[in-house]
Amino acid sequence: MKIKLTSVFVDDQDKALRFYTEVLGFAKKADFSQGPFRWLTVGSPEEPDGTQLQLALNNNPAAKAYQHAIFQQGQPAAMFYTDDVKGDYERIKARGAQFTMPPSGVTGSTIAMLNDTCGNLIQLVQLTRY
């Protein structure tokens, strides 16, 4: 078994696509519509055939309540792993990202947290190498 797709809810798919590609540096993988439904995914250019992230329009009242609650609690909706959290922090910050936590050492890793501008907190993680 493999994980090939996961999702985050976003309040605006066009804004999310710009953020996840132009700010974070992901690549658009799929973008098609059928009626009011839009299937939109991005993925890491480092793993062209790797797991995709669906940027799902959050038009579900229950999902909106959940998204808002975890954001208010400071919980990330997604975590992205990196080999250089400080370098990615500087690169992404220079592209306009608003970080809620700069790179900080925690048990077993260094993490940073940012606002994706679409209703989510995203955590960057660099594992400590022993």
Mean pLDDT of the chain: 96
Q: What pLDDT is stored for residue 91 in this prediction? A: 97
The stretch 103-113 carries a mean pLDDT of 97
Confidence bin at 21 (pLDDT 50/70/90): very high
- DSSP label at residue 31: E
Q: What pLDDT is stored for residue 130 in this prediction? A: 66
Task: Note the pLDDT tens digit of each residue in 30-71.
Answer: 999 999 899 999 999 999 999 999 999 999 999 999 999 999
Q: What pLDDT is stored for residue 129 in this prediction? A: 82
Q: What domains sit in the chain, N to C, each tagged with a CATH number? A: 5-127 (3.10.180.10)
- DSSP label at residue 129: P
Distance CA 10, CA 108 (A): 30
